[in-house]
Amino acid sequence: MREPKLDRSPRNLRFTNAARGIPLRAVLPNTVTALALCSGLTATRFAMLGNWEVAVLMVLAAAVLDGVDGKIARLVRAESRFGAELDSLSDAISFGVAPALILYLWSLNTLGRFGWLVALLLALFCALRLARFNAAIDQKEQPHKSAGFLTGVPAPAGALLALTPLYLWLWTGEATLAEPAIVAPWTVLIAVLMISSIATFAPTIRLKQNVRFEAVAVLVVFVAALVSAPWPTLAVMALVYLAAIPFSIRSYRRIRRLRAAAVDGSAYVPASPAP
């Protein structure tokens, strides 16, 4: 009797792997990712209550958790497609939907439908950026990534940048900073930067042995500043990040020129001398 043929199509294999569940070691990083998602949703709750300080801090907490979950997954060797998909869903909510709703409830709602359109633009462009990242995750040729750069502003940085007018308003109490005429163009600018193709610095720092103590000291000062004066610290961070974008573009262009020159040099074969 002939044995039945097994269905080994990619769709069936994905279903089989999903039915088996996830390894136990993957529980911790996925839990951290879920906590980031919960932080983003909690930010919207506090925004609806008008508690802008806690709403911003919840988005900041989601950004910190988002930066930790991947490192934990690599540390315990629990990287998986499931974790990547969960991370993207968490990012879409925490760094797309949550900041958009915060800005709408804080300022953009006075513009009516146009204000809602601006908020939708931020959430939509964040989702598009994440979709582009997921679509390219298995591509071998990624010029920006291979050179140590990112394509466009990453979602966590985009969310924190979009909230900069709110930081400044909480810091100074200046009512002008909450005007939709300022908040709306700023939100559109950050949304466009997220889906742009410009090269931005990747948040990866490699420390040498002889500067680790200094790096720890800088980190301690930064944490102390963030705790004692969060709004000035976040505002300065956002402005410094924006100011660094032209330098990242110039740095990537220089690396691209060096690569092109290396390729041209390797392709050049000098003519042999005439006999």
pLDDT confidence of residue 26: 72
Three-state DSSP string of the chain: CCCCCCCCCHHHHHHHHHHCCCCHHHHHHHHHHHHHHHHHHHHHHHHHCCCHHHHHHHHHHHHHHHHHHHHHHHHCCCCCHHHHHHHHHHHHHHHHHHHHHHHHHHCHHHHCHHHHHHHHHHHHHHHHHHHHHHHCCCCCCCHHHHCCEEECCCHHHHHHHHCHHHHHHHHHCCHHHHCHHHHHHHHHHHHHHHHCCCEEECCCCCCCHHHHHHHHHHHHHHHHHHHHCHHHHHHHHHHHHHHHHHHHHHHHHHHHHHHHHHHHHHHCCCCCCCC
pLDDT confidence of residue 201: 86
pLDDT confidence of residue 2: 43
pLDDT confidence of residue 64: 92
Q: What is the mean pLDDT of each run of 10 residues along the chain (275 residues)?
A: 44 45 74 93 96 96 90 79 86 95 96 95 95 76 72 93 96 93 96 93 62 73 89 94 93 85 60 42
pLDDT confidence of residue 21: 60
